[in-house]
Amino acid sequence: MPKMTFIETDGTRREVEAPLGLSVLEIAHKNSLDLEGACEGSLACSTCHVVIEPEWFDVLPDAQEDEEDMLDLAFGLTKTSRLGCQIIMTEELDGLVVRLPGGSNNAMK
């Protein structure tokens, strides 16, 4: 099974199993990681914002316009920011490394 690594806000690295077909958001939730996902992956918020490690960013499919619009609302936006609900695990992403940002903007509350 593919694996991925989450880097938590305190720098702790957590390697977890990453089942094919699940989103980074779903994988985080399965492993009790602190990634909110207020809209439950419906692309209506930016609370599942993650920062992709640079060496992995170009491996991902490009963000669609709807994701880019939501990213504009994300806390701590970087050049390698993506929404975890939009990254679906594939064999090609085995070993993916993402950072959890220090906070989120939740306009849904």
The tens place of each residue's pLDDT in the chain, 109 residues long, gives: 999 999 999 999 999 999 999 999 999 999 999 999 999 999 999 999 999 999 999 999 999 999 999 999 998 999 999 999 999 999 999 999 999 997 655 544 4
Q: What is the pLDDT of residue 108?
A: 42
Q: Model pTM greater than 0.95?
A: no
The domains of the chain are located at: 3-99
CA dihedral 33, 102, 84, 22 (to 10 degrees): -10
CATH fold label, 3-99: Ubiquitin-like (UB roll) (3.10.20)
